[in-house]
């Protein structure tokens, strides 16, 4: 058996075509979805992510403003910028690229973003709504993973999903979304004893660890579906995931590559959330006209 590839590049392309159609529809009403990206500091990985987001926005006919600051920016200065963006009618999504320099409280900053423009889905209100299954902007990476599983018609009901990682941006939310689709979910983390004893029970294995090629076939049950969220550099500086892609080929039934798996889905879902925000804004405007 050789594992089938879950092609995130192809699925994300399909999603971006749908997003572009929605952008064109909004353009007929003279609305251009606008995403403001705030970058503080010189982190080179962050700069690459931010540039990719801007390029994708523009390719889909959306507006993207980059607000770039030195790492000496104060918390108050950043909060004032967010306040300004919150009230800017041409901006539908606000994304603050993490990590932030240590003088700035990340939670305070994320909480200052208007939930109506929280296209990253990190605001406590978005997280709370997601948890109870109410409408919310879903965090882009977990949402992208769910789209991949759905596109490959991978049945989740009654399946055992094991998530390695419990970060607020990937591990915790993907576990919740899998639970909402009736999977039985186990979370593992760095304090888990005998990790392989859990991962070997997984029908669906999500690796969100941040360790190059950590998961080999000894962690994998025969026929498992593996989603590799990791973005790491190997010993030669080449981009690689948390999973040893070659080593799991004979054990897994499906696996995502890195690059070309979860990564492109994250950006596609961000574009989708920004368009959704612009559509909701238009809806609110129409509703208020109707009330008057």
Q: Is 131 exposed, middle or buried (0-12, 13-18, 19+ CB in 10 A)?
A: middle
Crossing angle for the helix pair 8-27 and 262-291, nearest 10 degrees?
20
Question: Binding of ligand NAP at residue 177 (CB under 6 A)?
Answer: no
Question: Binding of ligand NAP at residue 185 (CB under 6 A)?
Answer: no
Question: Binding of ligand NAP at residue 119 (CB under 6 A)?
Answer: no
| Cα separation, 52 vs 50, whole angstroms | 5
Question: Binding of ligand NAP at residue 165 (CB under 6 A)?
Answer: yes
For ligand NAP, the closer of residues 165 and 257 by Cβ is 165
The counts of H helices and E strands in the chain are 9, 11
Q: Which of 231, 252, 268, 269 binds ligand NAP (CB under 6 A)?
A: 231
Residues 242-271 touching ligand NAP, rule: CB under 6 A, are 262-263, 266
For ligand NAP, the closer of residues 68 and 232 by Cβ is 232
| Cα separation, 73 vs 86, whole angstroms | 19
For residue 259, say if its preceding peptide bond is cis, omega within 30 degrees of 0: yes
Question: Binding of ligand NAP at residue 169 (CB under 6 A)?
Answer: yes
Phi, psi of 240 (to 5 degrees): -150, 170
Piece in contact with ligand NAP (CB under 6 A), picked from 64-72, 87-95, 108-116, 225-233: 225-233
Piece in contact with ligand NAP (CB under 6 A), picked from 59-67, 148-156, 230-238, 245-253: 230-238
Q: How far is the CB of 233 from ligand NAP (least distance, A)?
A: 10
Residue 10, helix vs strand vs coil: helix
For the beta carbon of residue 195, count every other beta carbon within 10 angstroms.
17
Contact 242, 210 (CB under 8 A): yes
Which residues would be at the binding site for ligand NAP (CB under 6 A)? 141, 164-167, 169-171, 188-192, 195, 208-211, 229-232, 262-263, 266
Residues contributing to the annotated binding site for NADP(+): 165-167
């Amino acid at each position: 058996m050789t594992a089938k590839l879950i092609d995130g590049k192809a699925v994300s392309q399909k999603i971006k075509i749908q997003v572009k159609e929605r952008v064109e529809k909004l353009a007929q009403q003279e609305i251009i979805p606008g995403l403001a990206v705030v970058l503080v500091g010189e982190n080179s990985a962050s700069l690459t992510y931010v540039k990719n987001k801007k390029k994708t926005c523009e390719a889909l006919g959306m507006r993207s403003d980059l607000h770039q600051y030195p790492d000496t920016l104060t918390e108050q200065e950043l909060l004032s910028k967010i306040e300004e963006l919150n009230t800017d009618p041409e901006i539908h999504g606000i994304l603050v690229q993490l990590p932030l320099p240590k003088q700035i409280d990340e939670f305070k900053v994320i909480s200052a973003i208007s939930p109506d423009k929280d296209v990253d889905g990190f605001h406590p209100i978005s997280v709370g709504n997601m948890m109870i299954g109410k409408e919310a902007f879903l965090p882009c990476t977990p949402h992208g993973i769910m789209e991949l599983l759905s596109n490959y018609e991978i049945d989740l009901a009654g399946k055992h999903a094991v998530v390695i990682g419990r970060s607020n941006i990937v591990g915790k939310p993907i576990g919740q979304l899998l639970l909402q689709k009736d999977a039985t979910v186990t979370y593992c983390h760095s304090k888990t004893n005998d990790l392989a004893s859990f991962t070997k029970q997984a029908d669906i294995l999500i690796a969100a660890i941040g360790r190059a090629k950590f998961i080999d076939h000894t962690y994998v049950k025969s026929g498992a579906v593996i989603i590799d969220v990791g973005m790491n550099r190997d010993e030669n500086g080449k981009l690689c995931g948390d999973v040893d892609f070659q080593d799991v080929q004979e054990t897994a039934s499906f696996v995502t590559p890195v690059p070309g798996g979860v990564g492109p889905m994250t950006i596609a879902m961000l574009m989708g959330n920004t368009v959704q925000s612009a559509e909701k804004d238009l809806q609110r405007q129409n509703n208020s006209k109707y009330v008057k």
